[in-house]
Structure 1
Amino acid sequence: MKPKSILLLFSPLFCLLFCGYGAFSQTTNTPELYLEPIFKVNYGDATADKPQSKSWTNVYGQWLVVGDEDGPKLLKKDASGWTSQSAVNQAWHSLPSKADVWSKGDDAYIVLVGECALNVVQITYSHHNKQYEHQWKSYLPIPQDCNSIETATITQDSKNQYWVCADMNEKIMVWHSSNGSDWSDPFTLADDINKDDISLIVGLKNQVSVIWSNQNTQSINERIHYDGDAPNQWSELVVVQEGDNNADDHLNATVFENGEIAMVTKNSVDKINQPQFVLRVRDKKGKWTNIPYEILVAGKSPSRPIINHVESGKIVEVHTVRNREINRYYISVNEIVRKKNGWEFRELIQLKTKINGKNGDASSSKASFLPDEAKLIFFSDNLGNVYAFDLDTLL
């Protein structure tokens, strides 16, 4: 069931489009669905953190990495549900739990984030044993003056070089590896960020892009590395947007088949009747367009948006909403529609749980969804429950 379309003429939507906002079409009868957990760990918010992609689908099945108190856990979906992959998980014992996954073919490379630690592990699918097997783990060099790292992401470029970016102290840093296991010392891309800011690395055609928030300058920024250049050779600063409190530490992106990026971010405006999120679209030439959306209303706090798309063209945005009036949370699933005169955001369903505590931290795959495969999103609560939903029922 999808929300009914609404008329543009003489409507609030018409005004929003021509005022430069993305239009958010939310009906009063948006379907609701209560979900049961697919798995439970001894670790709250097991699908954190915001820019990270923790799942992937391939010819061998559907996979997910979640946090746990004794290290990350690899899960696989099978006929009985989501099951723990004990051999891999034993090899990951005591490693940091926040994970971001880069999967390609039989291999998956995963960066694991601790307070002042970054590990990269490789797992390879064994056709003989019909399961992933742990290959190795490596430690990225961390400067001795490190106070904290909030999050990190990983990608691979067209020259098969590996890259990790992370926030550390008040800096944005990037590490490089030619083989995925031996990592360089970090190169500093920015040294003036707020301690609350984070970054995201995205692999594009013949280049990688690092994007980060800077709440000190109220800006979203980017620097680019062209494949084949020296690891420390990066572009000058690109300012995606600056001013008007448009920066916050919420970033998530998807890369379209034509080379464009769509990124969703939260801003710091935090005012009723003003947009709380910004959709940022980067064309193939590197030009950014910023579309504010998700008008903040009394009693509801939207947060932590993520974005992905189906290769057929449909775009989906997912975020957490806290209903402050009853102190309950739900996951809002939306379709983003590109129109000739703007963008429209249609709420498709609200995903709810039966717990009274916090839930959120939506996550999906780094790769786009294929039309004929499952289109899974995940989230978790602060009690250790992990939830899943297949968007294929909506898109």
Structure 2
Amino acid sequence: MRKTHLLILFTLFNLLTISATTWAQEVPTPELFLTPIFQVNYGDATADKPQSKSWTINQEQWLIVADEDGPKLWKKEGQRWTSQREVNRAWENLPSKADVLNKGDEVHVVLVEACDLNVVKMVYSPGTKQYKHQWNAILPVPAECHSIETATLTQDSNNSYWVAADMNEKIMVWYSADGEDWSEPFPLADDINPDDISLIVSLEDQISVIWSNQDTQSINERIHYDEDAPQVWSELRVVQQGDSNADDHLNATVFENGEMVLVTKNSVDQIGSPQFVLRIRDRLGEWTNIPFENLTAEHSPSRPIINHVESGQIFEIHAVKNRVTNRYHISVNEVKKKNGGWEFKELVQLKTEINGKNGDATSSKASFKPEEAKLIFFSDELGNVYSFDIDHIIKK
């Protein structure tokens, strides 16, 4: 009799354990429906890859988005976002797509559209808690230019400024000692696909330019050491080549120890195969490539970005199209090193009420500070702009 009771108890325990495990595996990712923080007259206002459009100063959050008559600066004041009219008047009719570099009280922004490249400078006043527009510099663009999709900006350890952009199936860089007077562009690559783009990143005593080349199925890099003349760059370094691993989706974050994490999309586009690659560059310039995020019959992931908290937490964010309903959401994921590999855990799905596209996630070029808001942004094709603070999830 006792053995029978023990057998029953053991069976019940196993059933409960199996049920609990099954339940834990089937718990869906939390969903959150967002309302716009504001609207502009420009669809997909947070585009374009791989630009960073937000920053924090003195616990204040700032954002630049595109609009029909030029870029617009916005500030979060309490629970509202307010358009900064004085700066925005100074930016009327400038190129709309912005990449932001903030350092102390100064902000430099590269603005791009068609074959037009500008860099503007703003200075923050702690007294008024406002930015004041200082100047606008026009970068020299050759007359034969027929297309520039996007551009990014950085600063090296000598406080010199650099812009990288795709132009006419080439990867071009511009240089400035002060951010206002710019060199003629010079090419780092002249064989890219018309759909390819680049990203420029500041590392320890060097500048890295990374780009996709879908014709050669490769992700590539060239390095400029800060001690060298501006036109002196390393030979081509191939991060990875073959297996359709290149597409025009690039975004990076640099750790405090000098390592860089790059997230890219590939062109595999096969059900059950990873669409993204996490690429880790150590301080010696060696790369490790980790594929992740499968394409499924229902979900198509795209346009990944990545950022981290100075304490070490890594977050990857991307858009997802439901291939059945044609609805979109933004997937927020935590990336952890675990058991010698990498774990990608979806924390929340951000949704909106519109039926059209939601995407073009963006964040800050700088890492998140533990004590500050960790804002990400995205937009829809109707000009609505949305915001989410990752702290709402990680501090629960």
TM-score relative to the length of structure 2: 0.92
The equivalent of 1:264 in structure 2 is 263
Distance 1:390 1:330, change over 3 A: same
Aligned residues of 2:330 and 2:350 also touching (Cα < 8 A): yes
Q: d(CA) in 1 for partners of 2:162 and 2:126? A: 28
- Secondary structure, in 3 states, of the residue corresponding to 2:118? strand
- Secondary structure, in 3 states, of the residue corresponding to 1:394? helix
TM-superposed deviation, 1:27:
5.4
Bigger Cα displacement from structure 2, 376-385 vs 227-236: 227-236
Q: d(CA) in 2 for partners of 1:296 and 1:130? A: 45
- Secondary structure, in 3 states, of the residue corresponding to 1:96? coil
Letter of the 1:369 partner, please give it: F
* Greater RCO structure (CA 8 Å; 6+ sep): 1
Q: d(CA) in 2 for partners of 1:324 and 1:301? A: 7
Distance 1:27 1:62, change over 3 A: farther
Aligned residues of 1:213 and 1:220 also touching (Cα < 8 A): yes
Q: d(CA) in 2 for partners of 1:27 and 1:86? A: 49
Letter of the 2:120 partner, please give it: V
What does 1:1-395 correspond to in 2, within 5 Å?
28-59=27-58, 61-395=60-394
TM-superposed deviation, 1:60:
5.8
TM-superposed deviation, 1:50:
1.4
Q: d(CA) in 2 for partners of 1:372 and 1:178? A: 34
Q: d(CA) in 1 for partners of 2:272 and 2:25? A: 15
Q: d(CA) in 1 for partners of 2:228 and 2:273? A: 42
The equivalent of 1:8 in structure 2 is none
Letter of the 1:241 partner, please give it: Q
Letter of the 2:32 partner, please give it: L
Q: d(CA) in 1 for partners of 2:255 and 2:76? A: 27
Aligned residues of 2:59 and 2:372 also touching (Cα < 8 A): no
Deviations 1:6-58 (A, max 9, x none): xxxxxxxxxxxxxxxxxxx9955100000000010000000001110000011
Letter of the 1:273 partner, please give it: G
Aligned residues of 2:53 and 2:363 also touching (Cα < 8 A): yes
TM-superposed deviation, 1:324:
1.4
Letter of the 2:85 partner, please give it: S
Q: d(CA) in 2 for partners of 1:154 and 1:340? A: 36
Deviations 1:175-226 (A, max 9, x none): 0000000000001000000000000000011001000000010000000000
Letter of the 1:61 partner, please give it: E
TM-score relative to the length of structure 1: 0.93
- Secondary structure, in 3 states, of the residue corresponding to 2:343? strand
Structure 1 alignment gaps of length 5 or more: 1-24
TM-superposed deviation, 1:341:
2.0
TM-superposed deviation, 1:127:
3.0
Q: d(CA) in 2 for partners of 1:391 and 1:127? A: 27
After superposition, the CA RMSD in angstroms is 1.1
- Secondary structure, in 3 states, of the residue corresponding to 2:371? coil
- Secondary structure, in 3 states, of the residue corresponding to 1:90? helix
Structure 2 alignment gaps of length 5 or more: 1-23
Letter of the 2:266 partner, please give it: N
- Secondary structure, in 3 states, of the residue corresponding to 2:350? strand
- Secondary structure, in 3 states, of the residue corresponding to 1:87? helix
Q: d(CA) in 2 for partners of 1:26 and 1:227? A: 50
Q: d(CA) in 2 for partners of 1:114 and 1:233? A: 28
Q: d(CA) in 1 for partners of 2:357 and 2:114? A: 23
Q: d(CA) in 2 for partners of 1:257 and 1:26? A: 35
Letter of the 1:130 partner, please give it: K
Deviations 1:288-345 (A, max 9, x none): 0000000111021100000000011000000000001011000000000012321000
Number of residues of Structure 1 aligned to a counterpart in Structure 2? 371
Aligned residues of 1:26 and 1:346 also touching (Cα < 8 A): no
Q: d(CA) in 2 for partners of 1:128 and 1:313? A: 33
Identity over aligned pairs, percent? 71
Letter of the 1:365 partner, please give it: S
Aligned residues of 1:54 and 1:101 also touching (Cα < 8 A): yes
Letter of the 1:85 partner, please give it: Q
